Amino acid sequence: MGLLDKLQTHIETKDTHKNESLQTRYYAASPNAIIQWLEELIQSKGQSVRRIDTNRGELSFIGEGWDGLVTIVQVDGGRTAVDFTLNREQRLGVDLAQIVSHYYEALSQQFPLRAIGNKTVER
């Protein structure tokens, strides 16, 4: 990841992102379990949950100088997709990609990881 990537004020994960660390993650858990767990984790990190919409699978939260939206959607019986969208007002500040990586790492420790982007993860 280069300097220009660290200066981005908007970052969004997706299946086909060129940076593997920013590709969608799929976990073996229900959307509600992931939302509840993320809510607790976010609050334990001193960030604030703004809104939770379990019908849409969205959790909105804010950190110091940035805000985020997590989208959690069950795609089949054993896989739930988790995507992040983060925004920062200032050009300089916290590295948004590191925030995403931190949350994906924490999720992978809590729930079985099934896939990254379009690649299945070996069990």
Would the pTM count as exceeding 0.85? Answer: yes
Q: What is the model's pLDDT at position 118? A: 81
Q: Could you tell me the CA-to-CA distances from 48 to 42, 76, 106 in Å, in that order?
A: 7, 30, 18
Render pLDDT for 60-102 as a digit per residue (tens, 0 to 9): 999 999 999 999 999 987 899 999 999 998 877 788 999 999 9
Q: Specify the CATH number of the domain 3-115.
A: 3.30.310.80
φ, ψ for residue 61, nearest 5 deg: -150, 165
Residue located via tokens 């997590």: 70
Contact 39, 51 (CB under 8 A): no
Sorted by where each begins, the domain ranges of the chain are 3-115
CA distance 39 to 10: 22
